[in-house]
């Protein structure tokens, strides 16, 4: 349908199947496929394409739930709209699919898009300031075994109380001054067994009320002196476990103005003179446990209270560097560590 919506499953359109089909819309602001009020529909091996609107739109009307899209391609070329958009819709599944928008957000889950799953899929954008995958007020969703990329922009971002989401077994890459993985004002999210990379900016950024994040068996890489492999700012009770965090050009990991953030059983490395592998700044009860830290200064603690560093190896690589540096702190406890100077 060149001037409007190509295919529309509305209120009461349940248990339908679309297979091996092409749905195309060229009209600005319209959808190639809209599911709004229909449930338990299956779309498989299809092309869903919009030149200047949404590719696949699920939601708005009540009952837009339990739909499945598999082995399909969703595309848009809109700066303002997305190839996949889910709004006020729950328990939908996109699997083994391609989601692409070179000009804007590839996938956007917004406002009540809860309990949905994206798996085994490629999610890509190529637009500065836009997102490969954006969650806003969307909770309890699962992203697993996906490739998520937006070289000049953001990778995956959780904002505005997008809580209890799970991302696992995925690769998230950008090459920009933005963050590959970000959580802002969104709590209790989990990132597992994933690779997060950004040579030009933040690998990961967790901030401003993004409390209770759990990161397990995940790699964060940055290559920029002014940025971090992983930065936690104004967020508390976050845990990094069995991870690898690296920034050969600057600080690898920092916790700033937060409380009770923990790094354990992890490797954190920096190779640049004048930068530490770990920088704990103006934080309360931060902890490093059973980990390996290597940098010009291995660990630098400043203006913090109740910092605990235990059972770790702290190795300074710069001839003038120190294994553990503490400035203007209250109650730094270091026990059971191996500390070596440069």
Quick one: average pLDDT of 160-176?
A: 98
pLDDT for residue 338 is more than 60: yes
Which pLDDT does position 17 carry in this prediction? Answer: 98
Cα(332)–Cα(115) distance, rounded to whole angstroms? 42
Residue 318 pLDDT: 87
2 pLDDT higher than 70: no
Instruction: Write down the pLDDT at residue 184.
Output: 98
Q: Which two tokens stand for residue 342?
A: 């440069």
Instruction: Please say if the pLDDT value at position 293 is more than 70.
Output: yes
Q: How confident is the model at residue 1 (pLDDT cuts 50, 70, 90)?
A: low
What's 330's DSSP letter? B
Assign 320 a pLDDT band (cuts: 50, 70, 90): confident
Tens of pLDDT along 114-149? 999 999 999 999 999 999 999 999 999 999 999 999
Show the CA angle centred on residue 128, arms to residues 113 and 83, nearest 5°.
Answer: 40
Cα 293 to Cα 18, 97, 337, distances in angstroms: 53, 39, 11
Distance between terminal CA atoms of the chain? 68
Q: Which pLDDT value is given to residue 231?
A: 98
Distance CA(301)–CA(187), nearest Å, equals: 26
| Mean predicted confidence (pLDDT) in 249-260 | 97
**What's the chain's Rg over C-alpha atoms?**
22
pLDDT of residue 25: 96
- The mean per-residue pLDDT over the stretch 204-228 comes to 98
| 8-state DSSP, 81 | S
**How high is the pLDDT of residue 129?**
98
Tell me the C-alpha distance between 312 and 330, whole Å.
21
> Is pLDDT of 342 > 80?
no
Q: Is the CA virtual torsion 202, 166, 259, 338 positive or negative?
A: negative
CB atoms within 10 A of CB 133: 32
Mean per-residue pLDDT over the chain, rounded:
97
DSSP for 112-169 reads: S--S-EEES-EEEE--TT-EEEEEES--S-EEES-EEE-TTSEEEEEESS--S-EEES
To the nearest 5 percent, what fractions of the chain are helix, strand and coil? 0, 50, 50
Which pLDDT tens digit goes with each residue over 46-79? 999 999 999 999 999 999 999 999 999 999 999 9
Give the model's pLDDT for residue 78. 98
Other CB atoms within 10 A of residue 68 CB? 16
């Amino acid at each position: 349908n060149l001037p409007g919506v190509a295919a529309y499953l509305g209120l009461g359109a349940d248990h339908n199947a679309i297979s091996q089909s092409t749905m195309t819309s060229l009209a600005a602001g319209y959808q190639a496929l809209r599911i709004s009020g229909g449930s338990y529909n299956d779309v498989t091996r299809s092309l869903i394409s919009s030149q200047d609107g949404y590719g696949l739109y699920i939601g708005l009307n009540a009952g837009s739930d339990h739909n499945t899209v598999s082995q399909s391609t969703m595309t848009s070329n809109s700066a303002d709209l997305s190839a996949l958009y889910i709004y006020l819709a729950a328990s939908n599944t996109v699997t083994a699919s391609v989601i692409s928008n070179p000009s804007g957000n590839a996938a956007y889950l917004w406002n009540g898009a809860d309990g949905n799953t994206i798996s085994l899929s490629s999610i890509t954008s190529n637009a500065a300031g836009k997102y490969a995958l954006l969650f806003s007020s969307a909770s309890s969703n699962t992203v697993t075994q996906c490739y998520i990329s937006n070289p000049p922009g953001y990778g995956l971002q959780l904002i505005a109380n997008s809580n209890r989401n799970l991302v696992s077994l995925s690769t998230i890459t950008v090459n920009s001054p933005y963050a590959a993985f970000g959580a802002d004002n969104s709590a209790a999210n989990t990132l597992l067994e994933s690779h997060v990379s950004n040579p030009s900016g933040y690998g990961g950024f967790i901030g401003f009320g993004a409390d209770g994040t759990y990161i397990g068996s995940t790699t964060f890489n940055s290559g920029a002196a002014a940025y971090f492999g992983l930065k936690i700012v104004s967020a508390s009770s976050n845990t990094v476990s069995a991870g690898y965090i690296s920034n050969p050009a600057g600080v690898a990991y920092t916790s700033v103005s937060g409380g009770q953030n923990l790094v354990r059983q992890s490797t954190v490395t920096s190779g640049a003179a004048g930068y530490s592998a770990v920088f704990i700044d103006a934080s309360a009860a931060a902890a490093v446990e059973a980990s390996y830290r290597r940098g010009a200064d291995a660990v630098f603690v400043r203006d913090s209270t109740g910092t605990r560093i235990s059972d770790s190896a702290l190795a300074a690589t710069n001839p003038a560097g120190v294994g553990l540096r503490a400035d203007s702190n209250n109650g730094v406890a270091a026990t059971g560590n191996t500390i070596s100077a440069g």
